[in-house]
Amino acid sequence: MRKSLGLVGLALVMLLTVLPAFSQNCALCYTQAASAGARMIQALKSGILILVIPPTLASVGMVFIVHRKRNQVRRTENLDSYRLDW
């Protein structure tokens, strides 16, 4: 019971701390994008993708490498425990 209340409290805190992040906006960027033509808006969207894709790929790659290494370590630990039993 106490653990579930703690999880609910943690979830509420996380939800409430996200709200101020939505209000952060660059006024200059907003006015430039609003007054720009279709070509500028497309360039802005492309720039956002260029800035988002490399960190995302790096994060996915790191998770993949860590997961693979974890499995290798577990496999060698299991082999060592079998050798001790003989």
The pLDDT of 52-71, averaged and rounded, is 90
Please give the pLDDT value at position 57.
94
pLDDT, tens only, 9-56:
888 887 777 655 555 567 777 787 778 888 888 888 888 889 889 999
Closest CA to 41 of 28, 29, 53: 29
CA distance 81 to 71: 15
User: Angle 77-68-66 (CA atoms, 0-180°, nearest 5)?
Assistant: 100
Please give the pLDDT value at position 58.
94
Please give the pLDDT value at position 82.
58
What predicted TM-score, i.e. pTM, was given to this entire model? 0.47
Cα torsion at 68, 72, 77, 78 (round to 10°)? Answer: 90
